Chains A and B, each alone.
Chain A
Amino acid sequence: MKKLITAALAATMLTSPALAAEVKVGFVTTLTTGAAIIGNDMKNAVDLAVEHMGGKMGDLDLNVIYGDDGFKPETGKQVTDKLVKQDDVDFVAGFIWSHVLLASRKSALDAGKFLISSNAGPSPVAGKLCHENFFSTSWQNDQTPMAMGEVLNQNGIKSIYLMAPNYAAGKNMIAGVERTFKGDILGKDLTKWGADAQLDFSAELAKAKASGAEAIWVFYPGAAAGAFIKQYHQAGLKDVMPLYTSFTVDGLSLPKLQKANFESVLGSRITQQWDPSLDNAQNKRFVADFKAKHGTYPSFYAAQAYDTMFLIKSAVEAVGGNLDDMDGLRAAMKSANYDSVRGKYTYGNNHMPIQNFYLREVVADADGNWTTKVVSTVYENHQDPYASECAMQ
């Protein structure tokens, strides 16, 4: 009898790896601090993607393990190490913040894992530090503000004041506007960022106004967005310096601004690679189901997180669930052969998307909720400026 049990146990142990055939995705985002509003939106989108996939990628069960970076590079690296070593995930994805991604990338890539950024796009990972196992479902940081620079030129803006937080992405964003904007830059401020970010911009707004610039451009993602727009509103700058933003006014800040009735934001212009109103089947399903489940429009963070999961799914299915076939997975991801909510795009040599950028305007929808709509296409199939610095072909 005892022998039989031992044999049965041994048999179970032998078969269990096959039974537990699953694809593990580690998703690093911010789930604590004020920036958790972004992380939760991404998590909601990933959960929705898992639901739409029926919890499976091909024949494999899908297991998503979340990690919280606490808005800090060192914590992000620790949680990435944990996902790679302890959970032995197949894909590390997520990453809102450029400085967190830069601190964590080596942990994932040195362990031979695929690393997919669902948001952050600092210049090094697109240029000199590009890697065959790194992919992005978002953009390189410079691209969105570059599109904004073009819009400013088209609107005949001759001079501008720039403001951004003092970290990797803030500097890239400013560089992006400077790259395409043809007028004069009358001043710029880099403000303190991180868990103890500066949220009172009185000194900077006074400087901006005194500079006499025709318009002001800012990049303030997450909680700082609401704070900035409120102070812009309170300082009465709407008629003096029109506001242009990148990654500041989004599906997360708009409901809050609407609740507090900050109408200064209506009509403000944003550039982005995605919009909830884009007309394709995948996007319609995503936006409708997200709204039904959570009551708000998904943010661009959510859209990119949702795309991340479908990109992985397309690769897993292309290799028939054989996760050891790294070359096959890589080739499949590089082809971007999946239904993205932004529509079709391709990958450049540095595995950054080559995609369209749209000009969007903040409007009230049919139900009175504040959202955005596409005004025009600024760039078609735009590639980031760092691709040439990447050694990969």
Chain B
Amino acid sequence: MDYALLFIQTLNGLQLGLLLFLVASGLTLVFGILDFVNLAHGSLYMLGAFICASLTFLLGNFLVAVVVALPLTGVIGYLVERFIARPLYARDHLDHVLGTFGLILVLDTLTHLIWGPAGIAIPLPVWLDGQVNLFEGVVVPIYRLLIIVTGLATAAGLFWLVNYTRLGMLIRAGASNRTMVAALGIDIQTLFALVFALGAMLAGLAGMLIAPISEASIGMGNNIIITAFVVIIVGGIGSMKGAFIAALVIGLIDTLGRSYIDDAFKLFMPSDAAETSAPAVSAMLIYIIMAVILAVRPQGLFPPKVR
């Protein structure tokens, strides 16, 4: 067993998990509190990446671009809530799905028109572009460490926000019983808009962080949104803690699955068969986990306390 490799793969899994958490936390907030199925959450992730890419070339620095792009994606999230989500709240989930699926198509095409089909590669500052030698045999790209640190910091900030602030109290109350929150005289519309904008910023941040690795490209959000739904289903819809733990678990399982399944398969099947079946099985792994969770514990691992 190569422990250095295992350690690196764990870091890679952690990085993927934290990115998933950024997307899933917004999704679980919106789904849990607003009871709104937002398929277009992934489009906000994509828009974050493209806006950040343009700003990087405009302002000349990736980090400055992220800081400027964050409020912009928040504003886009607010507008989406005001003009698309709000009229749909009263309808059932199927209408939410139809409406936001339409929004995905519109935003994808809009992105195609504005930025072209090619996708944009984002250059990193030189100090972020290198590698760091953590200890013997473990060399990791600095930028990946930055993603991990940013993800952990954002998670910590969210926990503080949700557990120790007045807004967080309202969010938790809204997740448990929003009719009661409204009856107590809280401006539920503003709360909803704020939550939606926050979710958009979190998704946008994830898009901005991944863009220097995989480029800003059309449809990038549609890949991650499915996995993000898996995360919130495993974690328990509406639960921030559930989203965090499930995201890390899914990230680690996916990465370690891609790294070790072929070796594991080679123990009991011919190497050709292992090489063919391993990629297929590792792609299925997270869905198998979801199916098991749904069968054993349909409410998810950490459902919010009162529903």
**A residues touching B (Cβ–Cβ < 8 Å)?**
32-37, 40, 166, 188-192, 195-197, 199-200, 202-204, 206-207, 209-210, 223, 226-227, 230-231, 233-236, 252, 256-257, 259-262
Q: A195, A200, A203, A231: which contacts B222 (Cβ < 8 A)?
A: A195
B143 & A256 in contact (Cβ 8 Å cutoff): no
Q: Are A195 and B5 in contact (CB under 8 A)?
A: no
Residue from B12, B122, B223 within 8 A of A206 (CB atoms): B12
B275's partner among A188, A200, A257 (CB-CB below 8 A) is A188
Q: Which of chain A's residues have a CB closer than 8 A to the CB of B116?
A: 37
Query: Judging by beta carbons under 8 Å apart, are B219 and A33 in contact?
Result: yes
Docked Cα-Cα span, A36 to B130, in Å, equals 32
| Residue pair A260, B143 in contact (C-beta under 8 Å) | no
The answer to whether B222 touches A196, judged by C-beta atoms less than 8 angstroms apart, is yes
- Contact check, B129 vs A234: say whether CB atoms are below 8 A apart: yes
Q: Return chain B residues, CB-CB under 8 Å to A257.
A: 121
A190–B275 alpha-carbon span in the complex (Å): 8
Complex Cα distance, B214 from A231, in Å, reads 8
- The minimal Cβ–Cβ distance linking B175 to chain A, given in whole angstroms, is 30
Say how far B56's CB is from chain A's closest CB, in angstroms.
Answer: 9
Q: Is the pair B275, A210 in contact by a Cβ cutoff of 8 Å? A: no
B279 at the interface (CB under 8 A from A): yes
How far, in angstroms, from A116 to B219 measured CA to CA in the complex? 29
Whether, in the assembled complex, B296 has its beta carbon less than 8 Å from a beta carbon of chain A, the answer is: no
Give me the interface of B with A, judged by CB distance under 8 Å: 2, 4-5, 8-9, 12-13, 15-16, 112, 116-124, 129-131, 139, 141, 143-144, 210, 212-215, 217-220, 222-223, 226, 255-256, 258-259, 275, 279-280, 283
- Chain B residues with CB under 8 A of A40: 117
Task: For residue B65, give the distance in angstroms from its CB to the closest CB of chain A.
Answer: 13
Task: State in angstroms the CA–CA spacing of A271 and B16 once bound together.
Answer: 34
Measured between beta carbons, the chain B residues less than 8 angstroms from A32 are: 112, 117
Q: Which 8 A-B pairs have the closest CB atoms?
A: A36-B117, A199-B214, A260-B121, A202-B12, A236-B131, A196-B223, A260-B123, A34-B217
- Residues A230 and B144 in contact in the complex (CB < 8 Å), given A202-B12, A202-B15, A203-B9: no
Query: If A188-B275, A196-B223, A233-B129 touch, does A203 touch B259 (CB 8 Å cutoff)?
Result: yes
Interface of B is mostly: helix
List of A residues within 8 angstroms of B219 by Cβ: 33-34, 195-196
Q: Are B214 and A261 in contact (CB under 8 A)?
A: no
Whether the Cβ atoms of A200 and B123 lie closer than 8 Å is no
A210-B5 contact given A32-B117, A33-B218, A256-B121, CB 8 Å threshold: yes
| B212 x A230 contact (CB < 8 A) | yes
Q: Which of A37, A203, A262 has the most CB of B within 10 A?
A: A203
Beyond A36-B112, A227-B214, A259-B121, 10 extra complex contacts between A and B, CB < 8 Å: A34-B220, A35-B117, A36-B218, A196-B223, A206-B8, A207-B259, A210-B5, A223-B119, A233-B129, A234-B131
B117 touches A191 (CB 8 A): no
Asked if residues B215 and A227 are in contact (CB atoms below 8 Å), the reply is: yes
A207 touches B121 (CB 8 A): no
Q: Which of B117, B123, B144, B215 contacts A202 (CB 8 A)?
A: B144
- A202 and B148 CA atoms in complex are apart in Å by 13
Contacts of B8 in A (CB 8 A): 206, 210
Inter-subunit contact A230/B4 (CB<8 Å): no
A residues near B279, Cβ cutoff 8 Å? 166, 189-192
For A223, the chain B residues whose CB sits under 8 A away are: 118-119, 215, 217
Find out whether the CB atom of B118 lies under 8 angstroms from the CB atom of A206: no
Centre residue among A199, A206, A236, A256 by max chain B CB count within 10 A: A206
Smallest CB-CB separation from B57: which chain A residue? A259
For residue A206, which residues in chain B have a CB less than 8 angstroms away from its CB?
5, 8-9, 12, 259
Residue of A nearest to B141 (CB): A234
Query: Which residues on B sit within 8 Å (CB–CB) of A252?
Result: 118
By beta carbon, the residue of chain A nearest B56 is: A260
Contact A234 B213, CB 8 Å, known A32-B112, A32-B117: yes
| Across-interface contacts of A203 in B (CB, < 8 A) | 9, 12-13, 255-256, 258-259
The answer, among B13, B119, B259, for a CB contact under 8 Å with A34, is B119
For A191, the chain B residues whose CB sits under 8 A away are: 258, 279
